[in-house]
Amino acid sequence: MIFKISISYDGSQFFGSQKQRNFPTVQGVLEEAIEKVLKQKIKLKIASRTDRFVHARENFCSFEGETKIPLENLKKAINSHLPRSLKILKIERKKKFHPRFDTVSKTYRYFIKTKNFYPYDHNYCWHVPFKLERNRMEKAAKFLVGRKDFRHLSSCLRRENTICDVKKMKISKGENFFIEIEASHFLYKMARTIVSFIVEAGMGKILERDFEKVLLGKTRHISPAPPQGLFLWKIKYK
């Protein structure tokens, strides 16, 4: 039987989602908790890998196993072995399910504060203490929507296929805001590099006439925004 699990976590407490030796990771901690409850070895498959300090409002994973424990009781039992920074939201039984290959799209939100930045904000948003022109940011976001090559707006310069379909972009209102990106899939550090591109456009460092040059890699490489402002927000399935 395949178990489909929806999880949420605070990325500042983990060394990423992928299992590592000698470091607490989402996969490692969750596998250990599940194995304690089921008393059997399991292998988690994760929908979206996240870096250290990147959070997930909702990520998905799956494992194969056998148990007669009712699903709600199973969820409560596993959660009782998890730290406060990681929680199972829902468990379902599926005949067929792959958390990564069955996705239709993924949505990330990146939170930015330009004012009223407090010490406890450091792990959950990016402090940009400059005036950002909303009109310029919206033009930069609109430019990126569609099926494009994001090789130079990611850290995948050597990857063979870097074409992604950005379905939607949204910039919330206010001086403290978020940038939301929905895409078919994301390359390594693509979401964070897109955020930097939009912020630099808002600051006037990248002009509209240079957008195409940036995408084609004909100007300097854009560095990704810090990881702590990034949240995996939603995953759509078939």
Could you state, in chain order, the average pLDDT of each consecutive group of 10 residues for the chain (238 residues)?
97 94 94 96 95 97 94 97 98 95 97 93 95 96 97 88 97 95 97 98 96 94 96 96
CA distance 10 to 64: 25
Q: Which CATH architecture has domain 104-237?
A: 2-Layer Sandwich (3.30)
Do the first three CATH levels of 2-94 and 104-237 match, i.e. the same topology?
yes
pLDDT of residue 186: 96
pLDDT of residue 75: 97
Q: How far apart are the first and last CA of the chain?
A: 19
pLDDT of residue 158: 79
CA 144 to chain centre: 18
Q: Are 129 and 112 in contact (CB under 8 A)?
A: no
pLDDT of residue 156: 86
Q: Which CATH architecture has domain 2-94?
A: 2-Layer Sandwich (3.30)
Per-domain residue ranges of the chain: 2-94, 104-237
Three-state secondary-structure class, residue 26: helix
pLDDT of residue 152: 94
Strands of 65-138 (E only): list them: 86-94, 103-113, 126-127
Beta bridge partners of 112: 126, 177
pLDDT of residue 238: 86
Beta bridge partners of 82: none
Tell me which residues are annotated as active site.
Answer: 51
User: Could you tell me which of 111, 87, 236 has the C-alpha nearest to residue 178?
Assistant: 111
Q: Is 177 left (phi over 0), alpha (psi -120 to 50) or beta?
A: beta
pLDDT of residue 157: 76
